[in-house]
Structure 1
Amino acid sequence: MKTARLSAVTRTMQILAMTMLIGSAVINYLDRAALSIANIEVRQEMGLNATQMGVLLSAFLLSYAFAQLPAGVSVDRIGPRILLGVGLGIWSLAQMAAGFVTSFTQFYWARIVLGLGESPQFPTAARVVGNWFHISRRGVPMAAATSVGPSLGTALAPPILTALMLAFGWRAMFITMGVVGLVGALVWFLFYRDPEHHAPPQDVAYIRSGDTPSTSKVTLPQWGRLFRCRTTWAMLIGNFGSGYLFWVYYAWLPGFLEMQHHVSVAKTGIYASIPPLCGVVGALAGGWVSDRLAAAGVTPINSRKIPIIVGLAGTAALTVCAAYAQSAPLTIALVSIAVLFSNCASATIWGLVTVAAPPNYVASLGSIQNCGGYLGGACSPVVTGMVVDMTGSFEGALFIGAGVAALGGLIYLFGVVRPISGTELEYDADGLKPEIA
């Protein structure tokens, strides 16, 4: 299809929406990273061991994972403007509360609420990209919203949060980031709008052309029928593998460098920012390759699967190499390339959502897939902490992560073969007549 010339109004909102999504993702990942950056200091002040720290890290991940399910269908039913704005406000208040905790239990609940608040971020991003971009042009914007923003947040976290922590203490670091998030929530509420209320009709018609046909408004029974589809389960389980290995690095890289390679806290803040910057390159490459494959005539599903499979295989192989590295510089080099491959996969994992479901189910399917990723992520910090406590080394934890990621790639390869149709979602067990718009 010939590319339509979009109006200035639509192009402006595309840029504004992507800027705000990247900004909120940066805040999102700065907030997630705060506990990882403060790992050693929090453990010393509160008397926690590595396993207890793993539980605190996993508390966020578990609540985030299970909150994905209602968050996705809520975004599809209520809309991204309200859900992301409210979520940003809730998680920012939870981040502030973490600066005032006096016990393990209080910290645990602050992390739970942080996960609940952050849950609409990426279902919203999937829906916004699906709302504002044509199906053949979603790879790069989806990579920017779901991987570039997080990678930038992860890269900025070590230097920014370490500087805040060293200057004012870890409690002030949490409180400061909470205030920043509240400002971000206000900006999103003031400026974001959906295309149906903002873009010219001809632009909306072009954006919707090529999509899997929309169904009637999402209902809970129809949402439940997503779980009858093989594609849904393959995406959920496959993303478990991606999320597991990602969170080995995300939650434990600063501690890994300090404990395994005896890197100082100040140097860790510099070293730990390098892999996420490589992740930005990987995310954009994954989005660009998926769009090029689609333009070359590869099916929408396969144009997304290929970067996913290559990315997961590459990050698994490099993780095994990193386990044997004997110096901090070599370890950082190997981890950086591993994260590049990982983000190539994760960017197109979210891109897969926009071609695997009807447009008004994008957030719902994306949240189910993301739930799988964060179930993997929730297991990862605890298992890693236990392995470190038992063996005194990170080698075994890295081997486990590599194996789980490789298995995830195989599940995407053989499990995701076609998109979910509106008919599958609108027919019930008694043969309810579909009402496809």
Structure 2
Amino acid sequence: MNENHAVPAAPPGIRRGQRIALALLMVSGIVNYLDRGTLAVASSAIRADLGLSLSQMGLLLSAFSWSYALCQFPVGGLVDRIGPRRLLGVGLIVWSIAQAAGGMVSTFGWFIVARIVLGIGEAPQFPSAARVVSNWFPLRARGTPTGIFNAASPLGTALAPLLLSVLVASFDWRLAFVATGALGLVVAVVWFALYRDPARAQLSVAERGYLDADAQTAAAAPKLTFADWRSLFSHGTTWGMLIGFFGSVYLNWVYLTWLPGYLTMERHMSLIRTGFAASVPFLCGFVGSLVAGWLSDFVTRRSRSPVVSRRNAVVVAMLGMVAFTIPAALVQSNTVALACISVVIFLANAASACSWALATAAEPRRIARRDPEFWRFHRRCTRADPDGRHRAEVVVRAGAADGRGDRVRRCDGLPAAGAQADSRAGGQRRARTAAGLSVAATPRIY
């Protein structure tokens, strides 16, 4: 029997703290993705100025991914130790300095160093945001705020080509890096000035009671051992979600990093026109993330099995990504191609938001509390193409008459395989036990 679990109304002081927290997370997330997107928007100008090949551009993109991925595990512990306010504030300062430094380099090697430091600085963004949401919002009302701060990534990605293409075309690619770095430092000052963790905020007794009542419903997270983490890989559900994440994230990252370059090199658009055209699909992704956040809360309150409902949503979204990527590569019309890409990115961001909820619902409770670091590590490794050649070839040759269909189908099969793996993994009916951790059984859906 389905139940509609009502969430108690938050007191005024809590609502104010929630609004400030979400607004600051949105702003910092947008700046985060503006900084990431600068390299993609300015790629043609950077290649011409520094004499870089497509493979070297792929290495620059991957350098960020590897450092970002490797920092996920220590960042998860740091957010517990020092809190999200200090961790995200310091991260903002570090990544903003690294971003500005990227606009001052003159060699490929120093550019790699700047990108590595950028990845280190940006690593605390989502762990800190998740902790802020868990600190300020009750358990059953976290889907919507999670969708909101997660929506900062497609919104920032949409604004990057729109704003930065004007800077690059009117002035210089270096100014784009320096300007976004300076903006990040301003946001860091505002973050430290306005945000407070609930423990240090000026709340009334009733307001603290509201937060404490929700905290009492969750058991304290025990210390995790290596055996606990190892047991995670003994379950088919984990491997299914790994493959599913791999397929959806890979295709999403292809668009995120190479779409501006693809529109310029293969669709022969000017830099300014590319800026406007590339922003449209990511605005659709912004909407997809918001819709998925609301849908996650809606389904959780009404479904008998959050695992099955969320898994099915992810599978449908990934199959949709496959269906619309193929025509995007085959059609001659730029308008139709962009429309198809917009649908793909809408579905990719919807799948991403639902995937976080699926991971926490399907995994052992003790590990689910800390497991986001593991999934962020896997997602970032998925995006870190070791030499950049594969993604460069997929995108640049996608429009070629002799390789368009084959290249895109090779890339397109990844989310299809991921959808199939997600469906099979979620279909394990039995409850397995390892190291004393129980995994919820989920029925098979044919």
TM-score category, normalised to shorter length: 0.7 to 0.9
- Structure-2 residue corresponding to 1:435: none
Kept in 2, the 8 Å contact 1:72–1:368? The answer is: no
- Distance across 1 between alignment mates of 2:365 and 2:20: 21
1:144 equivalent in structure 2:
148
Q: What is the SS of the residue equivalent to 1:364?
A: coil
Matched-pair contact (CA < 8 Å) for 2:289–2:350: yes
Which is further off, 40-49 or 231-240? 231-240
Deviations for 1:129-164, whole angstroms, at most 9, x for unmatched residues?
222222322222111111x11111011111211111
| Separation (CA, whole Å) in 1 of partners of 2:125 and 2:234 | 25
Deviation at 1:221, TM superposition (A): 4.6
1:156 aligns with 2:163: no
Report the Cα distance in structure 2 between the residues aligned to 1:351 and 1:13, rounded to whole angstroms.
24
| Distance in structure 1 (CA, Å) of the matches to 2:360 and 2:111 | 36
TM-score normalised by the chain length of structure 2:
0.86
Match of 2:321 among 315, 323, 338: 315
1:328-386 per-residue CA deviation (whole Å, 9 max, x = no partner) reads 11111110011111111011223335545689966731121111111111129541214
- Which has the larger share of helix? 1
Q: Cα 1:173–1:355, aligned 2, differ >3 Å: closer, same or farther?
A: same
Q: What residue is the counterpart of 2:357 in the other structure? A: 351
User: What's the % identity of the aligned pairs?
Assistant: 40
Task: Tell me if the contact between 1:125 and 1:145 (Cα under 8 Å) persists in the aligned partners.
Answer: yes
- Asked if the contact 1:72–1:363 (Cα under 8 Å) also holds between the matched residues in 2, the reply is no
Structure 1 residue 389: Cα displacement = 6.8
Q: Contact between 2:67 and 2:119, CA under 8 Å: does it hold in 1?
A: yes
Kindly state the Cα deviation for residue 26 of structure 1 after the two structures are TM-superposed.
0.3
> What is the rounded CA distance, in whole Å, between the counterparts of 2:383 and 2:435 in structure 1?
29
Task: Find 1:201's aligned residue among 203, 208, 233.
Answer: 208
Select which of 111, 114, 117 maps to 2:118: 114
The separation in 2 between residues aligned to 1:406 and 1:160, in whole angstroms, is 34
C-alpha deviations, 1:247-280, integer Å up to 9, x for none? 1101111111112211111110110010011112
* Residue 91 in structure 1 maps to residue 101 in structure 2: no
Query: Over the residues paired in the alignment, what is the CA RMSD in angstroms?
Result: 2.7
Distance 1:302 1:208, change over 3 A: farther
- Alignment CA distance shift 1:36-1:136 (3 Å): same
Aligned residues of 2:251 and 2:414 also touching (Cα < 8 A): yes
C-alpha offsets along residues 380-414 of structure 1, whole Å, 9 cap, x if unaligned?
Answer: 95412144677874654432332112222333333
1:295-343 Cα deviation digits (max 9, x unpaired): 2133333343232222211112211121112121111111001111111
Residue 412 (structure 1) aligned to one of 422, 426, 430: 422
Unaligned runs of 5+ in 1: 428-437
Deviations 1:192-220 (A, max 9, x none): 23334445332113433665x3323x466
> What is the alpha-carbon distance in structure 2 between the residues aligned to residue 154 and residue 311 of structure 1?
20
What are the superposed Cα offsets for residues 36-63 of structure 1, whole Å, 9 maximum, x if unpaired? 0011000011111111111111111121
Superposed, which structure 2 residues align to 1:227-242 within 5 Å? 227-228=232-233, 230=235, 231-242=237-248
1:54 to 2:58 alignment: yes
The answer to whether the 8 A contact 1:244-1:379 is kept is no
Deviation at 1:228, TM superposition (A): 4.8
- Cα drift, residue 285 of structure 1: 1.7
**Counterparts of residues 22-33 of structure 1 (less than 5 Å):** 22-33=26-37
Q: Which residue among 165, 168, 182 is the counterpart of 2:171?
A: 168
Is residue 177 of structure 1 aligned with residue 180 of structure 2? yes
Aligned residue number for residue 190 of structure 1: 193
Q: Distance in 2 between the 1:377 and 1:349 partners?
A: 16
